[in-house]
């Protein structure tokens, strides 16, 4: 019985710590958040914090990892066609809009480089699992790598820009533009490749 209560207490403490971190991240730069800030906001002592996390950046990393895992699950539900590659952005945008201030901090702070790399990795994995996409590049791994890098970093960069300038972009506008660009570019590449073969 004791271990069950300890387990629930640990889950509760981690949740309090993450919630406190997210509230603070919405208020100020992540680099300015201290363990004391988090402990005070979560109404726990610093010993409890250190029982679960090494430091503030350990909390950030776990929140990023959870966000990336959730985004990956969202993307698993997409249609497996070339025409829908740009649609990767919509579920990600919807997910990030649930907590816009935290999302902006994750994507636009000095500490955002790791989150950006994780986001790129998810885009790349999903793109390479798209049969219509990979079929275009059969026998040409170099072109596939170049196009994949261009598209995935481009999508991650567009998302970062959208988070910086929320008032300028609607998810629908971004999806439509990306789909036209990606579909036209990839399909044109595939057509050119066929005529050259």
**How is 31-75 classified by DSSP, letter by letter?**
GG--HHHHHHHHT--HHHHHHH-SSHHHHHHHHHHHHHHHHHHHH
- Contact call for residues 13 and 44 (beta carbons, < 8 A): yes
* 38 against 120, higher pLDDT: 38
Per residue in 32-84, pLDDT tens?
Answer: 999 999 999 999 999 999 999 999 999 999 988 988 888 787 777 665 554 56
First to last CA, the chain: 69
Q: pLDDT averaged over the chain?
A: 80
DSSP, collapsed to helix, strand or coil, labels residue 98 as coil
Could you tell me the pLDDT band of residue 186, with boundaries at 50, 70 and 90?
A: low
Can you give the residue ranges of every domain in the chain?
1-53, 58-196
CA distances to 39, 96, 122 from 70, rounded to whole Å, are 26, 10, 11
CATH architecture of 1-53: Orthogonal Bundle (1.10)
Per residue in 126-149, pLDDT tens?
Answer: 888 888 778 888 888 998 899 889
Buried b (16+ CB within 10 A) or exposed e, 29-39: ebeebebebbb
Angle formed by the axes of helices 100-108 and 2-27, nearest 10°: 80
Considering only CA atoms, which of 72, 83, 68, 97 is closest in space to residue 169?
97
């Amino acid at each position: 019985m004791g271990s069950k209560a300890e387990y629930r207490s640990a889950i509760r403490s981690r949740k309090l710590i993450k919630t406190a971190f997210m509230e603070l991240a919405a208020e100020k730069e992540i680099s300015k958040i201290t363990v004391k800030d988090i402990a005070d906001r979560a109404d726990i002592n610093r010993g409890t914090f250190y029982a679960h996390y090494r430091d503030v950046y350990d909390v950030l990393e776990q929140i990023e990892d959870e966000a990336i895992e959730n985004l990956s699950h969202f993307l698993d539900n997409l249609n497996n066609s070339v025409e829908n590659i740009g649609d990767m952005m919509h579920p990600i945008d919807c997910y990030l809009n649930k907590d816009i201030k935290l999302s902006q901090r994750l994507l636009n702070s000095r500490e955002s480089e790791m989150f950006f790399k994780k986001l790129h990795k998810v885009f790349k994995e999903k793109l390479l699992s798209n049969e219509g996409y990979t079929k275009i590049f059969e026998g040409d791994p170099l072109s596939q790598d170049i196009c994949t890098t261009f598209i995935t970093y481009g999508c991650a960069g567009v998302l970062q820009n959208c988070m910086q300038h929320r008032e300028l972009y609607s998810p629908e506008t971004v999806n439509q533009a990306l789909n036209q660009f990606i579909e036209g570019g990839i399909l044109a590449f595939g057509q050119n490749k066929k005529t050259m073969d």
